[in-house]
Structures are given as C-alpha cells and as structure tokens.
Amino acid sequence: MEIRQTVEIRVRGTVQGVGFRPTVWRLACDEGLVGEVLNDGQGVLIRTTGNSVSIAQFLTRLHNEAPPLSQIEDVKTQVLNLLDFEDFRIAESVSGENFTRVTPDAAICAACREEVLDPKERRFGYPFANCTHCGPRFSIVKEVPYDRVNTTMADFPMCASCTREYLQPADRRFHAQPIACATCGPSIWLERVDTNVASGYPRATAALDSAVELLKNGAVVAIRGLGGFHLACDATNAEAVQGLRQRKHRYGKPFALMARDLDTIRRYCNLTRAEAKLLQSPEAPIVLLSADGPEKLPAGIAPGLNTVGFMLPYTPLHLLITQQIDGPLVMTSGNISDEPQVTSLDTARAGLRGIADAMLMHDREIANRIDDSVVRIAAGRPSLIRRARGYAPSAVPLPAGFEGAPDLLAFGGELKATFCVLKHGAAILSQHQGDLEDVSTFEDYQKNLQLYSKIYNHRPRLLAADMHPEYLSAKLAKQRAADDNLPLVEVQHHHAHIASCMVENGEALNAPPVLGIALDGLGFGEDGTIWGGEFLLADYRGFRRLAAFKPVAMVGGVQAIREPWRNTYAHLAAGMGWAEFVEKFSALELSRYLIRKPLPTINRMLETGLNVPLASSCGRLFDAVAAALGLCADLALFEGQGAMELEAIAETWAEGGDSPYNFAITEQAGSGLLHLESLPMWQALLDDLGQQTPIARMAARFHYGLARAIRDMVARIRVTNAALNTVALSGGCFQNKLLLEELVRLLKADGLSCLFHAKVPSNDGGLALGQAAIAAARHIERSYPANLQGSSASNKVRSNQCVLESLAK
C-alpha cells in the first residue's frame, strides 16, 4: 500500500562540489517527489514528500547513481510530519559548523572529453573545459567555502553562456565552480625561449600546434599543467631523452610518461585489467607497469629498471597535445634539481629557461602545487607510492573507537613528507610534499600547513611528530607546541609506520596487538640507535621491540646511503670478518673492487667508532647486496636505487624462488632481543659469485630468502606469543613488490592475517597518519597495558645523537 509521507535524508561524506544536489534533483523529479535539497555544514540535507515506494526507490537510486566524484559515507533517514512542497528545488546553502571537504582534482570525464574533441561543440579544442564530474578542485582552492570567488577562477568572470549552464540544474555544469569556455576562461600561449616570441590567444590552436611541432622535432617543452609545470619531450627519441636528463641534471631517477590512450601504452606494456582501470580512473595516477610489451623504449627512460610509469592525459590541455602525437611523451616534473615542481609563470621563465626550448603557458594560477600520484598494483591491489593529485586531500576514515579523537595535527617525517589533520574523527593526509631538507620544499610544507588550517578551520588541541631530534618537521612541531602551549606526542618512526598500516586496514582502536614488521632505510630508535628492520608487538598506544635485523655499521653515516659499497664492506667485515673474506674470496672481482677503496681509513673509523652508527636497516642490507652484485656500487643517485635495480633484475629470473638463501636467527645476550642475521646469506652469495652464477638468480635467491627469513622470524616470535595472528607490514622496503607478494603468500600459508598498505604509502609518506592515530589513541585512553608501554625518557640512550644529527642532514 502506498503511504504519502515526508522524509528527511541526511547524507554525509564527500558530497559537496561534486554535482550531488543536481543528481538528487534529477532523481527526485524522475520519481515524482517534491521537496528540497541543500548543502550545509554536515553535508547534504534532503527533505522530500511522496509515496513511500517512490521514496524507497529514490534512496536506492541515490546510492547506485551517485555522481562519480562523490563518496557517500553515511545516509540517515527520519520521518517528519507531512510537509507540502510545490515542486522539488535546490535551496540555498546553509552555513553551519564548517567542515566542508575539499575534493581532489579529477581527470577529464568522458563527456567533457567528447565535447573538447567535437568540432560541433562550443568547447571544441578548449584546454580548460570541465564540469561537476571532473576538473580542477584542490589545486585552485584558496579559501573555503569552495566557491568560485575563493579559487583562482575568480579572475575569470563567467560569460552569459557559462552562467546559463551554471544555473541550470539539469546541466552537467550546474554549480561547477571552475566552469569556463574560450570566451570567458583561461587561455594558453607559447613562449619560445630562444626568440622570446609569444603566440597566444585567440590563436590557442596555433600555440598548441607549435608546441606539438616542437615536441615532434625533439625539443623540450615546459607545460604549465594542473598542479605545476611538466617538462615534456618525445619519449621515443633517445637523444631528446638524454638531452633532457643532461639539462635537468637528473641522471638516475626514471621519467614518467604520458600517452594518448591505452592502445599506445599497450605497445610498451602488457596491461592487466586492474592496471587499465587504474589508468582510466578519475585519479589518473602514474601507474608503474612492466615494460614487457612488443616495442621497447629508450634505456634513458628508466635506467636499470624493467618497469615504466605511464599516465593518461588528465586535463583537456594534455588531451589536446597527446591527440596529435602518436607515441608517448616524457612528462616529468618541471623543477630544478631537488626543488619542488615550479608552479608560477615567473619562476618557470627564470628557472626552466636553461632546460626547456619553449614554454606552453596558461593564465590560471595554481593555488596549490600538487604532484602526480604514483601507484603500482602489488599483492592484488593498487598500492600508492606517492599520494598526491587525485587522492589528496580526501579523508582516510578512522577505525572504530576513534570517534572521540581530539582535533590534532601530526607533522610527519623528513623525506617524502606529508602531514595529517585530524578533525571530527576524520584524518586528512596532506599531499606528498617532498624532502624537507630542500629549503623551498620546507617553505612549501609550512605554507601548506597554514592553508590546511584555513581550509579545515582547524585548531589542534594536540600535536604529534617523529622522535628524531633533528627532523625539521619535529623541530617545527616543538616550536609550535611551545608557541601555542600545546602538548606534543613524540612518536617512534616504525611504530608510526605500523599504526598507519593498521588505520588504513580498519583495525579498531581496541583490537589486540599486531606483530608489526617495519622495514625501511632508517628511523630514530628508542635506544638512540638507528632502526630500520623491526619486528614490533604493537597496538595504537605503544609497542615492544621483539626482534630486529642485526645492526651493522653505516660507515660514514649518510655517505653509506650515497656509496652503497660501504654497506657491502661493513656487512662482510661484521659478519665473517675482512681477513677471512680476503683469505677465502680473493679471487672474486668483488674482493679486487673493495681493496681499491680507502679501507685503512674506514677500518680506523670502525675501530674508533667515529661516524659509524649502528643501523638495523633493511634498506642498507639491500644496498649491500645490490653493490656486491655490481649494481650501483660506487654511487646511488637516489636512496633505494640499488634496491630497485636488484628487484628489477630478480624479476627476470624465470625460476623464481628456487633455493632461497638462508638467514639465521640469533638472540642478543641479556636483552632477549632476536636478531635476523645475514651471515649465512652472505656465505652462499659469495660462493655463487665464485661460480659465476647469473646475477638474476642471486637477486632472486636473496629476495625469496629474505621473505622466508622474515616468515621464520614471525614463526619464532609466535612460539612465545601464540595469540599473535595478525601481521602488519609497513615501511618503504615494502614498495618492493617481489618481497611484499612473497611474504604475504608465506604468512597467509601459515594461517596469519596480513595487513599491508594500499591507499596510504608504506614509505615515510604514511608516517603522519600513524602519528595522528597514536597521539589520538594515547589521548583517548591514557592508561594502557604496561607491557606495551612506549618509551620513557630514562631508557633513551643518546650516545649516537651527534651521528644522527648528521644523518638528518
């Protein structure tokens, strides 16, 4: 039986600025309902009158046909006294407590794409077409609420045609804040660096055509995009690629590519369905793909690697350029050495002059620099390596128990820095900012802290930061805590990694402890030494260190990161001892190679203990093994280069995991701390070297051996901790797909439940989220189990502090 009733529907989530109200309007009209829909401080509020069947139908369709960029987190309905409405209308917004979510930028949608490519449409060839389902969002926001006047589109008053579309609920551009067309919106022009001739609007086509012509002829063109400048060149032209590397002084790191469509990418990479879907998603990230297609790219694109990062054009501007180019383009960040991506016209003119032959400019300011995100499919799901455009600043939902979390701010780490705003029980993880030791990156990081504070109207009651005394983010947090008289929670690096993994996997606040395995380069340990291969019994509030990779000296501190051979030497010297190595393996090329190094100096450093901090680092073990196999032994151009090359070459070994290398488990006298000991692995590896074993086989034996050793350590820990049945994997080393997938397989085979990262990076980009969760948990429940209690000031050993200070630099 049909009953006429009035229902109030409250929708929470990402529902503003994404075309939600027009969708509600359209569905309500379809279902013959009357009523109203409006935005308020909590999301979207609908009041509607109609027969109960139609209302039920409306609610079902609201879920199924919600606009593509919206994310409904919660819908609550409540029956009201019967209200009469004349029709269904979109009512004025009601301001309230301001917690409007800012939506990430979204790639051009199918409808806009068609328009831009259709000569009959008025936006044909227009590089800034967008609608409620796509286009710039976060990159143009200066203030909230998200209205045109508070974005960099304020400089472009809407023309009459755009205004009509903006006001028409049935239009795809109803209330699309960045709405624009060739009459009223931003325009492009080309500046030639050599001649200083600028060709501009209304000859936008001429600017595009010239840029395309230049690219086809091997030139480097700087392109002002959505979140910053790119440097582009023809990726199939080895000379152009090499030229770009030389001009940019970027020799090691792989270049990202952009291609017009999936078919072009398939010439170089055999795409899986999941990869194709990810490339075409509104987030449109750079996807790391196996370079296993029929055609080969020049070696200069991704030196030493068997993967390549591809993305599809995500703005109309990129679409219009790539439409005219048959093959892929290099599309790398437009920056100078390690500085952040350039965003402003003047900085580009000054800074990119010596790199680009021409600059394709536009006049819409970039309010927030945002890099391209990088994702890889690993262990069956998309796994974020760099979380920026398309993903930030969307909220990461907090698990059960965190409802009472205080508003707080977590400052993150030092490299791949992000920060995290906790407000109303939601965690907003900032976009990737870069390495804070770069002065302009650190300035940008501070600017963004202010911006987020403004956008989210955020006044933290609590601050959180890394325990490292020399991280710039931690120093800033201390300063802020003193200035604003706020409590500061200092969080151990690897505990933060594990907590971030727990949050994104929805582990409840009061869930039993997990066995956290944090593998990375280095982080400040509670005992004042450097950690980086940790097995922690952890919950959100605290942890206990149960096992670690056996510490080995980092000879020369940071120099050990730059010169990987130092780690090889340190591992050999610490394991079998140098004398024994020389005696047994003098015939090896490795031995002749190391003898040429300044060993007497290094030995003196080891004897005196000067600048040789001990590190239980998994990252350094990878460096040591890579260098022993001759992979970037002398110099790493970026941290982790050796590990990436080692993984790449291990992947090529068809036999996979046959006869993995053995490791040993030992117990540290007195403390009971278990050590993962790599000496047996080294002995087998050196024998392999002596027998001219293929490098790929040794790399594979190492990867599979390490995974098995970690599994064995887990089993050993469970002998005395039988209740532990959940393992959380985090830290930058888990960007290694081979290691992650093999370890997950082994742990699952042992009946363990395995948490690992997907939406939040496993590297230091995820630290801020973990810090936020830990600070919130400690605040919510101040009394926590003594066995998991974190550090107390008294047990911190600061002997290595000077060394760590130098390491932070």
Residues that bind Zn ion (CB under 5 A): 109, 112, 131, 133-134, 159, 162, 181, 183-184
Which residue(s) pair with 6 in the sheet?
49, 80
Q: How far apart are CA 9 and CA 77, in angstroms?
A: 4
Minimum distance from CB of 659 to Zn ion (Å)? 54
Minimum distance from CB of 226 to Zn ion (Å)? 14
Minimum distance from CB of 163 to Zn ion (Å)? 8
Closer residue to Zn ion in complex, CB, 72/159? 159
Closer residue to Zn ion in complex, CB, 114/750? 114
Closer residue to Zn ion in complex, CB, 179/356? 179
Cβ neighbours around 178 below 10 Å, total? 26
3-state SS, residue 503: helix
Nearest CA to 796 among 476, 490, 463, 471?
490
Q: How far apart are CA 702 and CA 718, in angstroms?
A: 24
Could you give the angle at which helices 578-585 and 565-575 cross, rounded to 10 degrees? 100
User: By CB neighbour count within 10 A (0-12 exposed, 13-18 middle, 19+ buried), where does 340 fall?
Assistant: buried
Which tokens in the block code for residue 804?
Answer: 């760590």
Minimum distance from CB of 187 to Zn ion (Å)? 12
Contacts of 408 (CB under 8 A, 6+ apart): 422, 460, 461, 462, 463, 464, 772, 775, 776, 779
Are the C-beta atoms of 713 and 749 separated by less than 8 Å?
no
Cβ neighbours around 483 below 10 Å, total? 8
Contacts of 196 (CB under 8 A, 6+ apart): none
3-state SS, residue 379: coil
Minimum distance from CB of 106 to Zn ion (Å)? 8
Nearest CA to 475 among 526, 437, 529, 434?
437
Closer residue to Zn ion in complex, CB, 110/197? 110
Closer residue to Zn ion in complex, CB, 162/738? 162
Could you give the angle at which helices 737-749 and 695-720 cross, rounded to 10 degrees? 40
Closer residue to Zn ion in complex, CB, 95/183? 183
Helical segments of 382-487, H only: 439-455, 472-484
Minimum distance from CB of 176 to Zn ion (Å)? 8
Minimum distance from CB of 170 to Zn ion (Å)? 15
User: How many Cα atoms occupy the beta-carbon half-sphere of 276 within 13 Å?
Assistant: 11
Element (H, E) at 190: strand 188-192
Closer residue to Zn ion in complex, CB, 174/268? 174
Closer residue to Zn ion in complex, CB, 131/738? 131
Closer residue to Zn ion in complex, CB, 316/528? 316
Minimum distance from CB of 208 to Zn ion (Å)? 19
Alpha carbon distance, N-terminus to C-terminus of the chain: 73
Taking CA 297 as the corner, what is the angle to CA 296 and CA 299, rounded to the nearest 5 degrees? 110
Cis check for the bond before 397: say yes or no (omega within 30 of 0).
Answer: no
Minimum distance from CB of 318 to Zn ion (Å)? 14
Minimum distance from CB of 126 to Zn ion (Å)? 9
Are the C-beta atoms of 582 and 514 separated by less than 8 Å?
no
Closer residue to Zn ion in complex, CB, 168/586? 168
Minimum distance from CB of 160 to Zn ion (Å)? 8
Are the C-beta atoms of 126 and 60 separated by less than 8 Å?
no
Minimum distance from CB of 362 to Zn ion (Å)? 16
Are the C-beta atoms of 371 and 266 separated by less than 8 Å?
no
Closer residue to Zn ion in complex, CB, 109/643? 109
